[in-house]
Every structure is written in C-alpha cells, then in structure tokens.
C-alpha cells in the first residue's frame, strides 16, 4: 500500500508538471505576441513622431523663407511707394469745379 501511494504521488506529480508545462507553452506565445505588438506600436509611434517633426520643421522653413521674401519685397517696394506718393503729392491741386465750369461753357 505504501508503494502504491508513492507511485500515485509520482504519477500525479508528473501529470501536474505536464499540465504546467503546457500552460507555460500556451501563455508564452500570447506573451510574445503581446510584447511584439507593443514594440511594433512603439516603433510606429516613433516613426509617426519623426514624420510630424520633419513636417513641422519643413513648415517652419517655408514660413521663414516666406517672411524673408516678404521682408525683402517690402523694402524694395517701400521706396517705390514713397516715390509714387511724392509724385502724387507734388502735383498741383486741381479744382474739380473749375473743370466742370469749363465743360458747361
């Protein structure tokens, strides 16, 4: 009887160990898959962040270039505008009523 109990304990222990090994095997792919999914998601987020950063940098460069062009053009046309305004202000005043009077006669 004692030998039978010892044998039964050994068999049940072996069965228990096999069940545990199978559980570990089943859990392992799920854990591995979960870890891989997390890594892929993290890499995609980093890639997306780099692309956004690159786009923001490009937009900033375009804005900077636009501002430089605008500043250059503003200075270039500022002098032309001053000359144009001087031309208008230096002309003698014309009385509109006198022109109308000439047309009536």
Residue 34, pLDDT > 80, answer no
- Is the whole-model pTM more than 0.75? no
More confident residue, 28 or 8: 8
Domain ranges within the chain, ordered by starting residue? 28-80
d(CA 55, CA 9): 68
d(CA 50, CA 57): 10
How many CA atoms does the CB half-sphere of 63 hold within 13 Å?
6
Residue 41, pLDDT > 80, answer yes
Residues 91-101 pLDDT 10s: 555 555 555 55
The predicted model gives 8-24 an average pLDDT of 85
């Amino acid at each position: 009887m004692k030998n039978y109990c010892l044998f039964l304990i050994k068999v049940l222990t072996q069965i228990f160990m096999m069940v545990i090994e199978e559980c570990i095997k089943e859990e392992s792919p799920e854990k591995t898959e979960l870890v891989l999914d997390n890594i892929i998601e993290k890499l995609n987020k980093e890639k997306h962040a780099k692309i956004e950063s690159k786009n923001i940098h490009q937009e900033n460069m375009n804005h900077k270039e636009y501002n430089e062009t605008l500043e250059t053009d503003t200075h270039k046309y500022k002098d032309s505008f001053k000359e144009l305004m001087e031309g208008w202000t230096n002309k003698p005043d014309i009385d509109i009523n006198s022109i109308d009077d000439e047309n009536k006669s």
